[in-house]
Amino acid sequence: MLASSPYPMRYLVDKSFVLLVGLLVLAGCGPSTSNSDNASTNGDPAAKLYRGEYPIRAIATVGMVADIVRTVGGSYIEVTQIMGAGVDPHLYKATRDDVQMMMDSDVVFYSGLMLEGKMTDVLVKIARGKPVVAVTESIDETYLLEPEDFAGHPDPHVWMDVLAWSKCVDAVAKALADFDPSHAAAYDANAAAYTKLLGELHAYGKQSIGSIARDRRVLITSHDAFNYFGRAYEMDVQGVQGLSTESEAGLQRINELVGMISERGIRSVFVETSVPRKNIEALVEGVRERGKEVSIGGELYSDAMGPDGEYEGTYVGMIDHNLTLVTRALGGDAPEHGFQGKLSHAAGPTR
């Protein structure tokens, strides 16, 4: 169930957009001028299933969620993803078209934990007429991280720990089975196969990151999206910005990291595909001014996956890329094309 949030005001939707959503929802409650058999916009969204009308129309906010829904739903579901490659979900505001798509869908899936903070009021309103599922609700709260500067507010980047994210697979399977009981066995079977694959990916991560010398396991990125990654794979993770990319990177924080890099001889820092490079480039320049050298080890996927149609455009491919790139850039041992040999481009330095 969606509830009001204690999060900072910067995560709330602006009043003009709330008014827009309200008008759209009210419009959806009136007489329809479209096909009266459209169960998603007229009455119970599940009614179409009783007429044997497939696929189920699902909306997912971010790629990591969409990938679970596609995999678990199989041929019985059609998934539309709102935010594509390179889009920062912390800053994304739903458009009028986004709202209409959610209203016309059968079920909506989102990550939760305020990742899609600016969409909260929209999701609340949509939930009045159809299932709206936060996939992270299935994760035990005691497992969630709460950074000091966000006391009481969990870090939403749970997908960076593969085992933790695999719990969300069960949440999607349950939601689809509840919505479409006649195919519950298929959803459960798909979920089990996907969970097994994620277990293998997690084991690859432990092995590859574990090959990096202990004193070199320092991951410096644009913002604090990798805390779960650090805990799962035993790395010291440092971000220039905080959890949300709305936070500004202060000169003091940049100087702290420049000092750390210089003193510890860290060989690589990393940019992110959905966050501007300027702060990482400032680190590189700051280290150079101290007479030291640090390279940009490559781009990591943090809040968004890779391009559609590429292996990195799947959750497994996204994390495989991150694990392989970090391992190779920091001197560890991992195959250049990843744990399945499917990476589109060689990750890290050529050996």
Residues 213 and 193 in one domain: no
Tell whether 4 is covered by a domain: no
Residue 175 phi, psi dihedral angles, 5° rounding: -65, -40
Last residue of a domain, one of 141, 175, 203: 203
Tell whether 87 is covered by a domain: yes
Residues 120 and 223 in one domain: no
In this predicted structure, what is the pLDDT of residue 44?
Answer: 65
Residues 197 and 214 in one domain: no
Name residues whose C-beta falls within 8 Å of residue 117's C-beta, 6 or more positions apart in sequence. Answer: 5, 7, 10, 11, 12, 90, 244
Residues 110 and 132 in one domain: yes
Residues 178 and 246 in one domain: no
**For residues 322 and 300, what is the distance between their CA atoms, to the nearest angstrom?**
6
How many folded domains does the chain comprise? 2
Would the pLDDT of 292 be above 50?
yes
Average pLDDT over residues 273-292: 88
Q: Which of 97, 84, 136 is nearest to 113 (CA)?
A: 136
Would the pLDDT of 4 be above 50?
no
Query: What CATH number does residue 182 fall under?
Result: 3.40.50.1980
Residues 14 and 129 in one domain: yes
Residues 187 and 53 in one domain: yes
Tell whether 344 is covered by a domain: no
Residues 21 and 158 in one domain: yes
Would the pLDDT of 147 be above 60?
yes
Tell whether 225 is covered by a domain: yes
Residue span of the structural domain in which 218 resides: 209-329
Query: Quick one: residue 341, left, alpha or beta (phi over 0 = left, psi -120 to 50 = alpha)?
Result: left
Would the pLDDT of 238 be above 60?
yes
Residues 77 and 173 in one domain: yes
In this predicted structure, what is the pLDDT of residue 151?
Answer: 64
Tell whether 346 is covered by a domain: no
Residues 229 and 193 in one domain: no
Residue 35's pLDDT band (cuts 50, 70, 90): very low
Contact predicate 130/179, CB 8 Å = no
